[in-house]
Amino acid sequence: MSIKPKKQIEQLKPYPIGMTLEDIQSKYQPKKLRKMSDNENVYGFSSKVTEALRSSLHSLSLYPDATTERLCEQLSYQHKVPKNYFLIGNGSEELIRLLTRAFISDGDEAIMADITFPIYKSNVMIEGGLPVFVPIVEGTHDLQAMYEAISDRTKMIFICNPNNPTGTCVDPSELKKFIQKIPAHILVVLDEAYDEYMEQHQKIDSITLLMEHPNLVLLRTFSKIYGLAALRVGYGIMHPTVMEQLIKVKEVFNVNKLGQNAAIVALKDQPFVKDCAEKNLIERNYLSRRLSEQNLSFFPSQTNFLFIYNLGEIESLNERLLQQGIVSRFFPFPQFNGSMRLTLGTREDHETLLDVFDGLYTKEEVANNGSQSSLT
Ligand SMILES: *Cc1c(COP(=O)(O)O)cnc(C)c1O
């Protein structure tokens, strides 16, 4: 007999981890492996980071700075927000956990999109809270329906903007109005993990809004455009009254030393960030245009990935992609009739992908897949 976990843990499933790259390499033996499954930066990270890591190595025997003082100072300078508004996490995933840990009690409700970053749901459930799912519309958060879902048990609202896995963002003026009308006792968590990939006209000035609304929390990360996913550094920007509670539930030394030092240097190298965003935009437009020409369905993206759907049966497609070394993520969402999320890569990665797609679907199949999905 196994030991019974808490009731809510029994209902959870572990996050699906795909095959390892080594397994894929030995099974499919592609000429080149292209990891396009986790939205990492295909252009790597700032070259200045390497030196920062090297010079951190002499002090590995000492715990890292528990207050992450220097990184907060750099962020404060970068964002023009007081230093005491920044809380650094072991990835922004940790900040999601700290938020639910500190604020979600048994039976509290947290509103989120039905198809979004799955970590919101699991953390709410771990605390005994109830996730309230609001269906996305055309891949995007339905802010009106989310507002209507507020009840007297609502404690938190998660907005992933742009949304993972669909890549879409909400209309900036709608989002601003939404944040302004949420009652002050409900925490609005705006996850901006892909902010740096957005086009300027799609962004809201979330930092100005934060200054006016102490119930707003912004989440950012060094794992995406900064290319430091392995080092696990993310941050929240929030009112000190919110942070005060999070600090009580966080581990003391939650952010490792290499991560802190790398993040400081990476932040200073904004030309690298700008360059990655520009290259990404060019590739995003290119791949979007080519997919349209092949009549494939996908959502307009403001991120470094595309959500492609109406693919029908996905197993054989995945096999063919893996044979070319393309590792992407497929989803079982019934409403999308076979869907995948593909991290944007280089032009060569995209040509390889398009070659696999080309000729895979006849015109009738594309039309068929489309009509199937409109029935569901
Ligand atoms: C990748 C991602 C994160 C966080 O990643 P960390 O590596 O934990 O910083 C958070 N939110 C969304 C929507 C993401 O896609």
The one-letter amino acid code at 22 reads E
pLDDT band at 363 (very low <50, low <70, confident <90, very high): low
How far is ligand 1, taken at its centre, from the CA of residue 221, in Å? Answer: 6
How far is ligand 1, taken at its centre, from the CA of residue 369, in Å? Answer: 31
Closest by Cα among 61, 40, 44, 78 to 264: 78
pLDDT band at 16 (very low <50, low <70, confident <90, very high): confident
- Residue of higher predicted confidence among 299 and 16: 299
pLDDT at 374 over 60: no
52-69, pLDDT tens digit by residue? 999 999 999 999 999 999
pLDDT at 375 over 70: no
- Which residue's CA is the closest to the ligand 1 atom numbered 6? 91
Collapse the DSSP code of 313 into the 3-class scheme (helix H, G, I; strand E, B; otherwise coil) and give the result: coil
pLDDT at 372 over 80: no
pLDDT at 373 over 60: no
How far is ligand 1, taken at its centre, from the CA of residue 364, in Å? Answer: 38
pLDDT at 291 over 80: yes
Pocket of ligand 1 (CB under 6 A): 39, 91-93, 117, 160, 164, 191, 193, 221, 223-224, 229, 234
- Which residue's CA is the closest to the ligand 1 atom numbered 11? 193
247-267, pLDDT tens digit by residue? 999 999 999 999 999 999 999
Closest by Cα among 140, 145, 144, 218 to 132: 145
Task: Give residue 371's pLDDT.
Answer: 43
Out of 37, 88, 93, 141, give the residue to mutate to test ligand 1, the one with the largest number of ligand atoms within 8 Å of its CB: 93
Contacts of 33 (CB under 8 A, 6+ apart): 21, 24, 25, 325, 327
CB 186 within 8 A of CB 178: no
Q: Which of 14-18, 70-74, 364-368 has the lowest mean pLDDT?
A: 364-368
Mean pLDDT score of the chain, rounded to an integer? Answer: 94
Task: Give residue 52's pLDDT.
Answer: 93
Q: Which H or E element spans position 217?
A: strand 216-221
Model confidence, pTM: 0.95
Task: Give residue 365's pLDDT.
Answer: 62
82-111, pLDDT tens digit by residue? 999 999 999 999 999 999 999 999 999 999
- Which residue's CA is the closest to the ligand 1 atom numbered 2? 193
